Amino acid sequence: MKKGIEKAQILVESLPYIKEFYGKTVVIKYGGHAMVDEALKKNFALDIILMKYIGINPIVVHGGGPQINQFLKKMNIQSDYIQGMRVTDGETMDVVEMVLVGKVNKEIVSLINHNGGKAVGLSGRDGDLIKARKMKIMKSLAENAPPELIDLGRVGEVTDVNSEVLTTLDTKDFIPVIAPVGVGEDGHAYNINADLVAGAIAAAMQAAKLILLTDVTGVLDEAKQLISSMTIAEADNLISSGVAAGGMIPKIKCCQDVVRAGVGKAHIIDGRVDHAVLLEMFTNEGVGTEITP
pLDDT band at residue 190 using 50, 70 and 90 as cut-offs = very high
Q: What is the CA radius of gyration of the chain?
A: 19
Cα–Cα dist 116/118, whole Å: 7
pTM: 0.93
CA atoms of 85 and 182, how far apart (whole Å):
15
Note whether residue 254 is domain-resident: yes
Average pLDDT over residues 173-191: 95
Q: 199, exposed or middle or buried, with CB in 10 Å at 0-12, 13-18, 19+? A: buried
pLDDT at position 143, please? 66
What is the domain-level CATH number for residue 211? Answer: 3.40.1160.10
Q: Would you say residue 160 lies in a domain?
A: yes
Any domain includes 218? yes
Lowest mean pLDDT among 3-7, 85-89, 142-146, 244-248: 142-146
**Residue ranges of the alpha helices (H) in the chain?**
2-21, 38-53, 65-74, 90-97, 105-114, 163-171, 194-204, 232-240, 248-260, 276-282
| Full domain range(s) for residue 220 | 26-274
Residues 136-153: tens digit of each pLDDT? 887 765 666 667 777 888
> Considering its fold, how many domains does the chain have in total?
1
2 within domain boundaries: no
Residues 266, 270, 276, 277, Cα dihedral to 10°:
20
Classify residue 6: in a domain, yes or no.
no
Lowest model confidence (mean pLDDT) among 6-15, 45-54, 154-163: 6-15
Residue 47 lies in a domain: yes
Of 87-91, 175-179, 256-260, the least confident: 87-91
Q: What is the mean pLDDT of residues 49-75?
A: 94
Residue 103: inside a domain: yes
Percent of the chain as helix, strand, coil, to the nearest 5: 45, 25, 30
Band (245; pLDDT cuts 50, 70, 90): confident
Q: Provide the pLDDT confidence category of residue 4 given band limits of 50, 70 and 90.
A: confident
